[in-house]
Amino acid sequence: MSGQDANSKDMLSRIHEQRVKDQNNDSTQTGAFPMVKAKKRISLDAKVTRTRLYSSILVTILCALLGFGYVLQINNTTSTYETMSEDELTKLISETNAQVQKLEQRKNELSSQLNALKDTADKNEKAAEIAKQNAQTNGILSGRLAATGEGVVIRISQGSKQKIDSAILFTLLEELRNSGAEVIEINNVRVVTSTYISGTAGSLVCDGTKLKSPFTIRAIGDSDNLQNAVNLAGGVGSRLKVKYGATVSVSPSDKVMIKSTRQAPQYTYAHVIGQ
């Protein structure tokens, strides 16, 4: 065998050996790249599911432990009373009854205090209401407060036969008072207990204020009684018409407004008894 043939045989042997080595290192048919096994990817949904499962299990265990502890507590409490002696139970019942009695007593005390406070509040409220009513009544009677109510409005013109004098107007005011008039006003002058009318015919003065005709008198009271006081046959209304020749009109009203007021008088000699 020639040297060339020997070299060719060696070359073929080396190629064969290299091919065997490549087949052992690479299980793919191509022989170009080694096969690497891919790792399994764990999905996010699977992780969430496992987390929820673990949480549910943990919660279930905790609930079971709590229930077990509650049962033990009840059993311990029951066993505590069961193991107490008769004297201890009697003492416990006596102490409980004493506490109940104290609580009932305290409840009654608080109820009595509450009722006393209610009575005091009611009395104070009633006293305040009475005081307010008295203040209003006194204010109306003294002329310090304006007033409104049922009554009549009387209008008198100047006489055609003779001028109206103070005497006939004063008589008219007295007739209205006697018929139950509670509040009277003449030409925006509030009439009170001390009111007087003076002056000569045609120049009349009421409590320092000059009166001009026609005269307007407003009176609050029973409208029927007040009308009768003026229109009574032979009464003051008839005299005004016959003797003085005046025109007299009486108008009943459910809402007579008397807005004029007077200052409260200052008494020098009169005092309330006891002061």
Q: What is the pLDDT of residues 46-89, one digit of tens each?
A: 655 666 666 667 667 766 766 666 565 555 554 455 666 777 77
Token couple for 146: 């304006």
pLDDT tens-place string over residues 164-186: 999 999 999 999 999 999 999 99
Per-residue pLDDT at 29? 47
Side by side, the strands of the sheet bearing 147-156 are 189-191, 183-186, 215-220, 147-156, 248-258
Give the SS3 label for residue 228: helix
Distance CA 130, CA 126 (A): 6
- Edge-to-edge, what's the strand order for the sheet holding 209-211? 197-200, 203-206, 209-211
Q: Give the closest residue to 206 by CA, choosing from 244, 241, 235, 165.
A: 165
Q: How far apart are CA 110 and CA 105, in angstroms?
A: 9
User: What DSSP character marks residue 186?
Assistant: E
pTM for the model stands at: 0.55
The whole-number pLDDT of residue 172 equals: 94
Q: Is pLDDT above 90 for 123? A: no
